[in-house]
Amino acid sequence: MPKQVDHQERRETIARALWRVVDQRGVLRLSLREVAAEAGMSHGQLQHYFASRQELLSFAMDFAAEQTAQRVARGLQALGDAPHPRDVLRLTLVEMLPLHEDARATSRMNAAYVLEALHDNTIRARTRDGLRQGRELVKVLITQAIADGKIAGDRDADIETDRILALTGLTPLLELDVINPGEALAAIDRHLGELFTS
């Protein structure tokens, strides 16, 4: 009896192969043939799942976002019921920065995707929508913290949201060894410590 193929599992295997290509060789080496070789399959087998580089990249990006969301969800569960918004923001920022292997892979995928988005309107629209949704989630948290008196009432929720998201700009400094993880975490903790009043 022929072996049943789990198509979602195969797609995720391909997505992880794409991550490895980007992580180890850079986005310029990103082709269907290169990813197929990394996944241990033929170019034709890969095309059965993804007809184009754009389709493959979009799926890999969605998969990366899911993996990040799962890591954040596990972290939130560990924080217990009704965690402090400062702890939620810290956890989210830490998972967005390349501070461990999985986060580094998803961070590099994000960078590759943004580069692709600059030249592809479909990817650009998807990326912009995803970033807007992410920003809105942070803004909701900041707005509630202001309402609850955990952040001073004279703070502007939009500005503070953008300042929080600006901390993800530490990524290239970490990737190029300009700063180390301890310095990145110290910057995050200092910022959050100054933002929250209680």
Model confidence pLDDT, tens digit, residues 95-147: 989 998 888 888 888 888 888 888 888 888 988 998 899 999 999 999 999 99
pLDDT for the residue 2: 47
CATH number of domain containing 147: 1.10.357.10
Q: Is residue 130 part of a domain?
A: yes
* Per-residue pLDDT tens over the stretch 45-77: 999 998 888 888 888 888 888 888 899 999 999
In a domain, 31, yes or no: no
Rounded CA-CA distance 112/35 in Å is 14
Token match 């810290």: residue? 90
Given a contact cutoff of 8 angstroms between Cβ atoms, the answer to whether 102 and 53 are in contact is no
11 within some domain: no
Domain membership flag for residue 1: no
% of the chain at pLDDT higher than 90: 52
Q: Is residue 76 part of a domain?
A: yes
45 within domain boundaries: no
- What is the tens place of the pLDDT at every residue in 1-13? 445 567 888 888 9
Q: What is the pLDDT of residue 3?
A: 55
94-101 long-range Cβ contacts below 8 angstroms, 24+ apart = 94/185, 94/188, 95/68, 95/71, 96/68, 96/168, 96/171, 97/168, 97/170, 97/171, 97/174, 97/184, 98/171, 98/174, 98/175, 99/174, 99/181, 99/184, 99/185
User: Per mean pLDDT, which of 11-25, 48-62, 167-181 is the most reliable?
Assistant: 167-181
Which pTM does this prediction carry?
0.82
Structurally, the chain folds into a number of domains equal to 1
Residue 101, Cβ density class (10 Å: 0-12 exposed, 13-18 middle, ≥19 buried): exposed
- Which residues constitute the domain of residue 139? 57-195
26 assigned to some structural domain: no
Residue 152 domain-assigned?
yes
Mean pLDDT, the chain, integer: 89
